[in-house]
């Protein structure tokens, strides 16, 4: 057996066995109730979130007979679509080629590096193996997309799937070539440098020629309509030079626009040709393979490790642990130090940017629906959403408590501490931080409340704000209690550190846990709310809006009592908690 | 008084990792716990340390039951595992301080200084575990175990990852603690270390004790008398790995 066939069969063996074993593991773990229930919840979620909506949408379309674009527009789209999409693809490809991003095709797993790199196989064969392995991921993504793709016919789904596969496969291979070329841009040998620079310079030059032609087409007279834009792009694409330069890009997108079945089949030929050309080019420019692959794999491994356990920095935190004091204080210090050292500007951006986007978009939608205007009103609305988001989702996101410290359970179990104090101590830091953030946002909202709620009197606004301030720690600590109770009672359900198990079953587990948290929160708040309601009916007529405040105080006190009682009750369960329930038996 | 193990059993599913284990380690005794891989040594030590809950049996540290009275039992205990588990966000100094608070160590500062020097951690006090080599991390775990006056010391492969100087110092430290009256149980595959510093040896196989005694006692056992007093030969014989027989 020659080396190429040997590598091909070895590659196929790795891919098939890995895929088979991964499916087996996923199926085998369904024997455990937590994964079975999780899988049921996950499948149900998918069904209701996607499939039922797709079916309902289809039925709705049939009933409504949604208006189609005019025949002229459809004709223009069919005629000019490939040119416009090809042009877009060219621009995106050039932009990405200039970015210092390494192709994922050059990322090998640790096992691949250990087993295949020292094996008697060529670099080309290794690249072919990696290309073959990447197909599974592409195919899976495309199947999922094709299923949820809003389309009336199965053929259209098939056409979209095949077109997407050709596009993504070529895209990946091409960027592997670009990544390989990049490693030789500063090579000592002039010929190597020439070979490395050529594809990028050719691409930029091609884009420049096409851009000039497009600019000329649009500079002569103003644009009249979308149809006009498409027809002018079509004219540009028909220019012989531009046609040649755009060929690979247009060929890759043409299958999306071709009619089913024969025009589509005919469009596949040129697209396949482009893919084959990209593969040949990459296999011929494999000189910098080892360096590029090793660097890419190391970067990927570091990024993966950073996601599991971000590398902290030993910065001073200005808080020295006192040598005596309550257990809770010890955990407050430990978790505060952890956050202070784990949090970097980048981490803050990672959480702050999505949070800001969510809050701003939600606020904007509310403002729009109420026809509200004014900066003060907008800020008030944003502050309320920040507070609500922090209180309701903060305890789920901020896991610097027992959920994170299950990783250190072996160490915690050797400490001579009361288990209930450990649980309380673990909750203290995230609870304090979330409460502080929510309080800050609520204080801002209270200050701006005159603009945010112009119809409410000062008494109502201040009573409401004060009540919200009082209820915040109750809601935060009640939720943290449920999350930590879950960690003690069902440790196997809790992902360790920042790692997250994958799969529909794991997603279902998270949904179940979230539902359980909400349910428990409702149960915990119920006694306080009932007493508050009684107070309302008894005293509202005498003290008005101020009755909200004693109601909130009662809720806070009752939830505090419940949390204390629950942590005491969880103590024996923590004592019984076995490290083998969260780790494999040695 | 030190510590006593009575009919200890630990089961994982259908696997009896530790089965009916009973022994006593007195004050000043250094007992070596040896056995082939999978014999149940680490499970035994983890049960003694309160990490794993025994399926059956009792473990008493200075008379305090590890299950019924865990806080008092753990106060007297120091466990040094084979794999150094440290908080990745706390420095060496902060780990020692944390330990001092947990165990209410009175003269913490001079003790910590002496230990840092003894274990050659000087200059690493402000370092995080991620910045230390495995051997250094092992030394931090050992320092945390020794910064307090534990009456019972449990070592699981204490020399793993240490350099020759560290090994020598560690050996001296264990012997010194034993002489000072601590009851020490040391699990190791390094038979020459066990032979050198232990006053008694317990050999485990398949979750059970197959031999327990001083080297002289073991060597004089009827079934072992012919093979000499070499611990390796004794180990091979009692665990059934002696192919010569």
Residue A267 shares a structural domain with residue A162: yes
Residue A289 shares a structural domain with residue A338: no
Give the least confident one: A79-93, A209-223, A501-515, B124-138: A501-515
Average pLDDT, chain B: 88
Check pLDDT > 90 for residue A303: no
Residue A245 shares a structural domain with residue A180: yes
Length of chain A: 586
Chain center to CA of A254: 31
Instruction: Provide the residue range defining the domain that includes A98.
Output: 71-306
Question: Is the Cβ pair A334, B98 closer than 8 Å?
Answer: yes
Residue A254 shares a structural domain with residue A171: yes
HSE value, Cβ hemisphere, 13 Å, CA-based, for A347? 15
Counting other chains too, the contacts that A580-583 makes at CB distance below 8 Å and 24 or more residues apart are A580/B12, A580/B52, A581/A491, A581/A492, A582/A406, A582/A409, A582/A491, A582/A492, A582/A494, A582/A496
User: How confident is the model at residue A515, as a pLDDT?
Assistant: 86
pLDDT 10s digits, A366-380: 666 555 567 778 888
Q: What is the ipTM of this complex?
A: 0.76
Place of tokens 């490939």: A82
Average pLDDT over residues A84-96: 87
Distance CA A277, CA A24 (A): 37
Question: Is the Cβ pair A337, B89 closer than 8 Å?
Answer: yes
Residue A336 shares a structural domain with residue A299: no
Residue A43 shares a structural domain with residue A153: no
Chain center to CA of A487: 24
**Which has more pLDDT, A154 or A486?**
A486
A416 touches B at CB < 8 Å: yes
Average pLDDT over residues A190-200: 77
**Which has more pLDDT, A500 or A215?**
A215
User: How confident is the model at residue B224, as a pLDDT?
Assistant: 67
A417 touches B at CB < 8 Å: yes
**Which has more pLDDT, B164 or A431?**
A431
Among B residues 66-105, those touching chain A with beta carbons less than 8 Å apart: 70-75, 77, 79, 81, 85, 87-91, 94, 97-98, 100-105
Among A residues 284-313, those touching chain B with beta carbons less than 8 Å apart: 309, 311-313
**Which has more pLDDT, A284 or A462?**
A462
User: How confident is the model at residue A585, as a pLDDT?
Assistant: 34
User: How confident is the model at residue B113, as a pLDDT?
Assistant: 93
Question: Is the Cβ pair B97, A321 closer than 8 Å?
Answer: yes
Output the CA torsion A48→A53→A58→A63 (10° steps).
110
B200 touches A at CB < 8 Å: no
Average pLDDT over residues A486-509: 72
Percent of chain A's residues with pLDDT above 70: 80
Distance CA B12, CA A515 (A): 32
Give the least confident one: A533-537, A557-561, A578-582: A578-582
User: How confident is the model at residue A577, as a pLDDT?
Assistant: 83
Query: Which of A334, A341, A416 is opposite residue B74, by nearest beta carbon?
Result: A416
Residue A247 shares a structural domain with residue A288: yes
Question: Is the Cβ pair A330, B98 closer than 8 Å?
Answer: yes
**Chain A CB contacts of B103 below 8 Å:** 416
Please choose, from the candidates A203, A379, A381, A179, the residue with its C-alpha nearest in 3D space to the C-alpha of residue A290. A179
Query: Which of A313, A408, A578 is opposite residue B85, by nearest beta carbon?
Result: A408
Average pLDDT over residues A367-395: 80
- Out of A102-106, A181-185, A217-221, B204-208, give the one with best mean pLDDT: B204-208
Check pLDDT > 80 for residue B71: yes
Query: Which of B46, B79, B89 is opposite residue A342, by nearest beta carbon?
Result: B89
A579 touches B at CB < 8 Å: yes
Residue A423 shares a structural domain with residue A302: no
Question: Is the Cβ pair B50, A325 closer than 8 Å?
Answer: no
B123 touches A at CB < 8 Å: no
Chain center to CA of A527: 38
- Measured CA distances, A201 to A89, A193, B131 (Å): 17, 12, 44
Average pLDDT over residues A34-53: 73
Q: Which two tokens stand for residue A135?
A: 């197909």
Query: With bands split at pLDDT 50, 70 and 90, how would you rate the model's confidence at A345?
Result: low
Query: With bands split at pLDDT 50, 70 and 90, how would you rate the model's confidence at A31?
Result: confident
Question: Is the Cβ pair A334, B49 closer than 8 Å?
Answer: no
Cα first-last separation, chain A: 41
Cα first-last separation, chain B: 40
Residue A315: inside a domain: no
User: How confident is the model at residue A586, as a pLDDT?
Assistant: 30
Percent of chain B's residues with pLDDT above 70: 96
Q: Centre a 10 Å sphere on the Cβ of residue A111 and count the other Cβ atoms it contains.
A: 10
Residue A122 shares a structural domain with residue A254: yes
User: How confident is the model at residue A571, as a pLDDT?
Assistant: 92
Q: Which two tokens stand for residue A571?
A: 């103590």
Give the least confident one: A316-330, A336-350, A572-586: A572-586
Is the Cβ–Cβ distance between A259 and A96 less than 8 Å?
no
Q: Which two tokens stand for residue A138?
A: 């592409």
Distance CA B190, CA B193 (A): 5
Residue A368: inside a domain: yes
Residue A234: inside a domain: yes
Residue A430 shares a structural domain with residue A563: yes
Residue A324: inside a domain: no
Check pLDDT > 60 for residue B1: yes
B43 touches A at CB < 8 Å: yes
User: How confident is the model at residue B140, as a pLDDT?
Assistant: 92
pLDDT 10s digits, B75-118: 999 999 888 888 888 889 999 988 888 888 888 999 999 999 98
Residue A354 shares a structural domain with residue A498: yes
Question: Is the Cβ pair A321, B105 closer than 8 Å?
Answer: no
SS3 B12: strand
User: How confident is the model at residue A152, as a pLDDT?
Assistant: 58
Query: With bands split at pLDDT 50, 70 and 90, how would you rate the model's confidence at A382?
Result: confident
Query: Which of B101, B108, B126 is opposite residue A314, by nearest beta carbon?
Result: B126
Residue A317: inside a domain: no
Q: Which two tokens stand for residue A63?
A: 């009933």
User: How confident is the model at residue A82, as a pLDDT?
Assistant: 86
Is the Cβ–Cβ distance between B95 and B108 less than 8 Å?
no
Question: Is the Cβ pair B74, A414 closer than 8 Å?
Answer: yes
Average pLDDT, chain A: 81
Question: Is the Cβ pair B74, A415 closer than 8 Å?
Answer: yes
pLDDT 10s digits, A179-194: 877 777 776 777 777 7
Residue A462 shares a structural domain with residue A534: yes
């Amino acid at each position: 057996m020659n080396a190429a066939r040997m590598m091909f069969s070895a590659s196929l063996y790795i891919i098939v066995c890995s895929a088979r074993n991964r499916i087996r593991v996923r199926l085998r773990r369904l024997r455990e109730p937590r994964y079975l229930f999780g899988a049921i919840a996950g499948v149900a979620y998918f069904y209701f979130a996607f499939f039922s909506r797709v079916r309902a949408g289809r039925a709705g379309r049939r009933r409504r007979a949604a208006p189609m674009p005019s025949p002229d527009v459809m004709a223009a789209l069919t005629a000019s679509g490939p040119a416009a999409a090809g042009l877009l693809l060219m621009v995106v490809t050039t932009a990405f080629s200039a970015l210092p991003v390494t192709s994922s095709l050059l990322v090998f797993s640790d096992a691949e590096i250990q087993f295949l790199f020292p094996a008697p196989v060529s670099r080309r064969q290794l690249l072919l193996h990696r290309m073959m392995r990447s197909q599974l991921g592409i195919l899976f993504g495309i199947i999922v997309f094709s299923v949820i793709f809003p389309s009336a016919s199965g053929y259209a789904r098939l056409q979209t799937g095949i077109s997407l596969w050709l596009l993504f496969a070529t895209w990946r291979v091409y960027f592997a070539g670009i990544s390989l070329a990049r490693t030789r841009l500063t090579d000592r040998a002039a010929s190597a440098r020439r070979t490395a620079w050529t594809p990028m310079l050719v691409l930029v030059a091609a884009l420049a020629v096409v851009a000039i032609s497009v600019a000329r087409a649009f500079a002569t007279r103003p644009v009249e309509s979308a149809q006009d834009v498409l027809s002018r792009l079509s004219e540009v694409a028909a220019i012989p030079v531009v046609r040649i330069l755009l060929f690979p890009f247009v060929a890759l997108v043409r299958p999306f626009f071709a009619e089913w079945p024969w025009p589509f089949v005919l469009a596949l030929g040129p697209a396949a040709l482009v893919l084959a050309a990209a593969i040949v080019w990459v296999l011929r420019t494999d000189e910098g393979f080892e360096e590029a692959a090793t660097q890419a794999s190391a970067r990927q491994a570091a990024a993966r490790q950073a996601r599991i356990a971000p590398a902290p920095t030993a910065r001073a935190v200005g808080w020295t642990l006192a040598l005596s004091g309550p257990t809770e204080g010890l955990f407050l210090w430990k978790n505060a130090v952890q956050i202070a050292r784990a949090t970097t500007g980048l981490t803050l951006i990672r959480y702050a940017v999505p949070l800001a986007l969510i809050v701003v978009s939600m606020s904007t939608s509310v403002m729009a629906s109420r026809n509200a205007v004014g900066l003060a009103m907008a800020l008030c609305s944003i502050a309320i959403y920040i507070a609500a988001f922090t209180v309701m989702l903060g305890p789920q996101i901020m896991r610097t408590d027992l959920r994170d410290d299950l990783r250190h359970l072996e160490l915690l179990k050797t400490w001579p501490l009361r288990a209930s104090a450990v649980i309380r101590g673990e909750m203290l830091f995230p609870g304090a931080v979330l409460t502080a953030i929510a309080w800050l946002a609520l204080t801002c909202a209270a200050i701006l409340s005159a603009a945010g709620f112009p119809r409410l009197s000062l008494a109502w606004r201040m009573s409401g704000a004060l009540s919200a301030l009082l209820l915040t720690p109750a809601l935060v600590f009640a939720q943290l209690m449920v999350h930590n109770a879950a960690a003690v009672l069902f440790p196997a359900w809790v992902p360790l550190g920042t790692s997250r198990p994958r799969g529909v079953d794991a997603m279902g587990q998270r949904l179940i846990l979230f539902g359980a948290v909400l349910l428990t929160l409702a149960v915990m708040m119920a006694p306080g709310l009932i007493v508050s309601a009684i107070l309302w009916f008894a005293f509202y007529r005498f003290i008005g809006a101020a009755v909200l405040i004693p109601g909130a105080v009662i809720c806070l006190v009752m939830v505090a009592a419940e949390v204390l009682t629950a942590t005491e009750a969880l103590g024996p369960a923590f004592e019984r908690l076995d490290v083998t329930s969260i780790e494999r038996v040695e | 008084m030190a510590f006593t193990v009575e009919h200890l059993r630990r089961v994982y599913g259908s696997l009896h990792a530790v089965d009916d284990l009973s022994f006593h380690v007195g004050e000043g005794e250094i007992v070596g716990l040896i056995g082939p891989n999978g014999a149940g040594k680490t499970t035994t030590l983890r049960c003694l340390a309160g990490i794993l809950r025994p399926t059956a049996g009792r473990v008493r540290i200075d008379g305090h039951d590890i299950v019924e009275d865990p806080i008092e039992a753990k106060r007297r205990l120091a466990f040094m595992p084979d794999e150094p588990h440290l908080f990745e966000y706390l420095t060496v100094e902060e780990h020692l301080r944390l330990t001092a608070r947990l165990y209410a160590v009175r003269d913490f500062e001079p003790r910590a200084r002496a230990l840092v020097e003894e274990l050659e951690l000087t200059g690493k006090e402000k370092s995080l575990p991620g910045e230390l080599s495995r051997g250094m991390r092992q030394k931090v775990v050992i320092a945390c175990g020794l910064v307090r006056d534990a009456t019972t010391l449990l070592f699981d492969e204490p020399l793993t990852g240490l350099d020759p100087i560290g090994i020598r110092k560690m050996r001296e430290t264990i012997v010194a603690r034993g002489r000072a009256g601590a009851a020490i149980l040391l699990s190791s595959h390094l038979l020459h270390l066990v032979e050198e510093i232990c006053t008694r040896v317990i050999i485990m196989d398949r979750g059970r004790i197959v031999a327990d005694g001083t080297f002289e006692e073991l060597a004089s056992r009827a079934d072992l008398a012919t093979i000499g007093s070499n611990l390796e030969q004794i180990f091979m014989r009692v665990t059934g790995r002696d192919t010569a027989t």
